[in-house]
Amino acid sequence: MANLPGVGTVAGIPVLAPISAWCQLASVLELNDLVAAGDHLLRAELGLATAVEIAARVVQYAGHRGALRLCAAEALIRPRVESRRETFLRLFLLMCEFPEPETNMDVPLPLGKRRVRGDLVYFRYKVLVEYDGEQHRTDDVQYNRDAERLHDLRVAGWLVITVRKGSSKEWVRDAVDAALRSRGWRP
């Protein structure tokens, strides 16, 4: 630990900086979990790390246990990802060889409609893939807001695929494939 950058103290106790901890986790986490943790580091509102800082630390980590997995994860992390499940869904879409979606971007709607942000956005094809966690089902305010935004998106010509915890991988793959193909995508 002493030969790695990013060691500091909190209340007199030695701690690793978030990027250093992420680098060390490369020796024990599976790739998808490591990418999800890296996505979390990039959340601007948390101020934990920038892509440049992460890239520099990955270079410094070369030769350590897990360095190859760390490089693979660094290539897959993206900004604006808001949950571990979103990361897993995005990585699954890439594994299926779909184009890479934009993460948590504003989706244009007709004038006068409230701004909408989509989880995984295919602007070129007007396809939106959303991951809905439990709060989308159990919170009445959230549930009603989701229904209104889904209506507005469909009126604006967007195809929306809503993925939930229980959605099968086969269904997700087939639904995204059909939506993208219907909008002109070809593998």
Q: Rounded to an integer, what distance in angstroms lies between the CA atom of residue 86 and that of residue 118?
A: 11
pLDDT digits (tens, 9 = 90+) for 59-82: 999 999 999 999 999 999 999 999
| Superfamily of the domain at 84-182 | VSR Endonuclease (3.40.960.10)
Please provide the distance, in angstroms rounded to a whole number, between the alpha carbons at the two ends of the chain.
Answer: 45
Query: How do the domains of the chain map onto residue ranges?
Result: 7-76, 84-182
User: Would you place residue 108 in the very low, low, confident or very high pLDDT band (cuts 50, 70, 90)?
Assistant: confident
pLDDT digits (tens, 9 = 90+) for 123-145: 999 999 999 976 545 667 778 88
The single-letter DSSP state of residue 123 is G
Q: Rounded to an integer, what distance in angstroms lies between the CA atom of residue 185 and that of residue 187?
A: 7
Q: What is the pLDDT of residue 139?
A: 67
Looking up tokens 């070809």 gives: 186
User: Would you place residue 12 in the very low, low, confident or very high pLDDT band (cuts 50, 70, 90)?
Assistant: confident
